[in-house]
């Protein structure tokens, strides 16, 4: 195994990388580079960052369908498919994905941490919208939440007419008029 010094210039080289709240934006230098390609988990080969290797726990790969058990993970630099900015798919993150979460060995981080968060939030909004859409009858507060989610999800279709829901809510004194006005503004053709 070859030792590698942490490059002093790393902060500059990686300053335009998207920050990951858990791991940061710069490589996590371990001073280790695996002795040969075959020892490394098969994430993007071209973008592996030398000197960031951490060992695999082979016992956590037992019984899994995988061509070979890798010896190491390495930090990899990737480009986000959503925002196109560079980010690091960290060795520690790979270890967590493949060993703790049991993700398939082919799994890759395609989005940066910021975009992953946005996608997750949008999925949560959509599933809450679907949940409220099937709720019958809804309380006024749930009606308002449904309307706000409808307004937040561009291009979504609804069998209920949002204008009717809005007019129904406008008659209720307990409904927050500022929130309702915001929905009216968005729904305006
Ligand atoms: Zn991104």
pLDDT of residue 6: 53
43 pLDDT more than 80:
no
CA of 142 to the centre of ligand 1 (A): 32
For the residues of 23-70, what is the DSSP string, one character each? TBSS----SEE-SSGGGB--S-STTB-TT--EE--GGGGTTS--SS--
CA angle 135, 141, 142 (to 5 degrees): 20
Q: pLDDT-derived band of residue 117, with 50, 70 and 90 as boundaries?
A: very high
Q: Where are the domains of the chain?
A: 1-113, 135-187
Whole-number Cα distances in Å, 68 to 38, 63, 65, 71, 105: 9, 12, 9, 9, 10
Please check the confidence at residue 5 and state whether its pLDDT lies above 60: no
Query: What pLDDT, on the 0 to 100 scale, is given for residue 7?
Result: 53
Cis peptide bond upstream of 171, omega within 30: no
Output the CA 137–ligand 1 centroid distance in Å: 39
Distance 13 CA to ligand 1 centre (A): 18
Distance 37 CA to ligand 1 centre (A): 28
The more confident residue out of 67 and 145 is 145
pLDDT for 149 beyond 80: yes
Select the more confidently predicted residue: 21 or 62: 21
Cα(122) to centroid(ligand 1), Å: 14
**Tally: H helices and E strands in the chain:** 6, 6
pLDDT tops 60 at residue 8: no
What is residue 2's predicted lDDT score, i.e. its pLDDT? 45
pLDDT at residue 1 is higher than 50: no
181 CA distance to ligand 1 middle (Å)? 32
For β-strands 86-89 and 2-3, DSSP reports them as unpaired
161: confidence class by pLDDT, cuts 50, 70, 90:
confident
Using the mean position of ligand 1's atoms as its centre, give its distance from the Cα of residue 24 in Å: 14
Confidence of residue 9 (pLDDT cuts 50, 70, 90): low
Angle of helix 162-170 relative to helix 140-152, nearest 10 degrees? 140
Helices 140-152, 177-187: axis angle to 10 degrees equals: 40
Ligand 1 centre distance from Cα of residue 59 (Å): 33
């Amino acid at each position: 195994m070859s030792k590698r010094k942490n490059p002093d210039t790393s902060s500059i080289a990686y300053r335009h990388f998207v920050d990951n709240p858990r791991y940061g934006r710069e490589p996590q230098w371990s001073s280790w580079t695996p002795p040969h390609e075959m020892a490394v988990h098969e994430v993007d080969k071209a973008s592996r960052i030398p000197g960031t290797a951490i060992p695999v726990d082979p016992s956590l790969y037992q019984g899994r369908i995988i061509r070979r058990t890798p010896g190491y993970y390495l930090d990899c630099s990737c480009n986000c498919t959503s925002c196109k900015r560079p980010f690091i798919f960290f060795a520690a993150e790979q270890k967590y994905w493949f060993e703790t979460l049991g993700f398939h060995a082919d799994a890759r981080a395609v989005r940066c941490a910021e975009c992953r968060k946005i996608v997750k939030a949008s999925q949560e909004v959509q599933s809450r919208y679907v949940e409220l859409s099937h709720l019958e009858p809804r309380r006024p507060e749930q009606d308002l939440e449904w309307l706000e989610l409808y307004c937040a999800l561009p291009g979504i279709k609804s069998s209920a007419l949002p204008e009717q829901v809005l007019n129904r809510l406008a008659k209720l004194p307990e409904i927050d008029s500022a929130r309702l006005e915001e929905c009216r503004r968005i729904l305006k053709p």
